[in-house]
């Protein structure tokens, strides 16, 4: 199964809510990088890459978007629209993101610092990488 979600328990009271994201507790790895996507124009798709080693958790903290995940044999799709649910994306998984709502803010927690050498940006190269890996 490619789509693995993590439920983050909301904490709060009559004043409002919060979600705590903690490395090696609520997030299953050490967090070395955090970034977020916002202001994605209508009809724009993002992603179209995989990582050799990096793992990520993606959370739509506002709005929604759709992820398509592929491992070279299987393909799964999931819509993120709940700020208490994270999508765990393991290494060596191709990801594509579509259907961003106008207000979407997509938060991404990464297990490693940015490293261009970790990216696979061509799907055919990804398939070759997966064949070599298996």
Q: Catalytic site residues?
A: 49
Token pair in block for residue 56 = 């990520």
Q: Are 5 and 83 in contact (CB under 8 A)?
A: no
CA separation for the pair 41, 102 (Å, rounded): 7
Other beta carbons within 10 Å of 18: 9
Residue whose C-alpha is closest to residue 85's, from 111, 103, 67 = 67
Calpha distance 89→55 (Å, rounded) = 6
């Amino acid at each position: 199964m490619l789509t693995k979600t993590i439920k983050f328990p909301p904490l709060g009271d009559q004043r409002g809510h919060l979600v705590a994201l903690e490395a090696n507790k609520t997030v299953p790895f050490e967090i070395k990088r955090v970034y977020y996507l916002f202001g994605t124009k209508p009809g724009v798709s993002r992603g179209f890459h995989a990582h050799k080693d990096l793992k990520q958790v993606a959370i739509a903290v506002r709005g929604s978007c759709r992820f398509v995940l592929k491992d070279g044999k299987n393909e799964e799709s999931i819509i993120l629209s709940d700020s208490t649910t994270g999508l765990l994306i393991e290494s060596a998984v191709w990801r594509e993101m579509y259907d961003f709502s106008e207000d979407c803010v997509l938060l991404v927690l990464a297990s490693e610092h940015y490293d261009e050498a970790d990216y696979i940006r061509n799907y055919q190269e990804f398939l070759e990488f997966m064949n070599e890996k298996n």
